[in-house]
Amino acid sequence: MKMPGNMQAMMKQAQQMQERMQQEIAAIRVEASSGGGMVTIKMDGQKHVLGVTIDPEVAGDVEMLQDLVLAACSEAVKKVEDEIKQKMGGLLGGMGLPPGLF
């Protein structure tokens, strides 16, 4: 199906923006900790855990360690989502779309 030139240009621009957004999300790296730094999680933009650091001091208390790992993971996910929202807002802000659409 042949689209008018203006529509083709808009579709191409949207595809380029999507590719750029995926690259920017892939480049995101966050670090979050809990328990005053006793557990630290490193995560990428796809929410893959890249590393976990645990202070040996909490290794003996399994329940506390589980809580700290969970809290650090939750914080890392929140940081990734915040960065994605910020990047999308900057990228889509120039398109004149209504707020909250993405």
* pTM of the predicted protein model: 0.73
- What is the chain's pLDDT, residue by residue, as a tens digit (102 residues)? 566 668 888 888 888 888 988 899 999 999 999 999 999 999 999 999 999 999 999 988 999 999 999 999 999 999 999 999 988 877 666 555 555 544
Domain ranges of the chain: 27-91
d(CA 89, CA 61): 42
> Which single residue is written with the structure tokens 């730094």?
37
d(CA 6, CA 100): 26
How distant, in Å, are the alpha carbons of 69, 70, 81, 84, 100 from that of 75? 10, 9, 10, 14, 23
CATH class of the domain comprising 27-91: alpha beta
pLDDT of 9 reads: 84
